[in-house]
Amino acid sequence: MSEDIKEQVVAAIKESGNFSSQLDESSDVSDDAQLLVYVRCQGKNDMEENLFCKRLETTTTGEDLFKLVDSFIKKEGLSWDQCFSVCTGGAPAMLGAHQGFTARNKSTPQ
């Protein structure tokens, strides 16, 4: 079921042509770090949906977070060109000026 939902969300993004994303790093009840990524896109049906939630295997640096999201985007045939807005929490791993997720996102070749 979750695979079907993911496919529907990715298809909606592709149909829309663009999306905005919201990222949050959190810990679950067993103290494992999780990255939650939500997307919003407009098209035939406006959609705001959880894109994925993945366990962070190692550390929670901006590089680790970016690699995880970048890998998912490429695997699903999406592009950073389609992402017009990124919203994150205030953690240094997200907002760091040189090593944070947003800094890495801005420096990604379009």
Tell me: the pLDDT tens digits for 6-54? 898 999 999 998 999 998 887 777 778 888 999 999 877 788 999 999 8
pLDDT at 80: 86
pLDDT, position 28: 73
In a domain, residue 110? The reply is no
Each residue's pLDDT tens digit, 50-81: 999 988 887 777 888 888 899 999 999 999 88
Tell me how many domains the chain contains: 1
- Residue 108: inside a domain, yes or no? no
For position 73, what pLDDT does the model report? 92
- With respect to residue 57, please indicate whether it lies within any of the assigned structural domains: yes
What is the pLDDT averaged over residues 74-99?
76
Considering the domain boundaries, does residue 31 fall inside one? yes
**Residue 44 falls within a domain, yes or no?**
yes
Domain that holds residue 81: 2-103
Print the SS3 string covering the chain.
Answer: CHHHHHHHHHHHHHHHCCEEEEEEEEECCCCCEEEEEEEEECCCCCEEEEEEEEECCCCCCHHHHHHHHHHHHHHCCCCHHHEEEEEECCCHHHHCCCCCHHHHHHCCCC
- Residue 69 belongs to a domain: yes
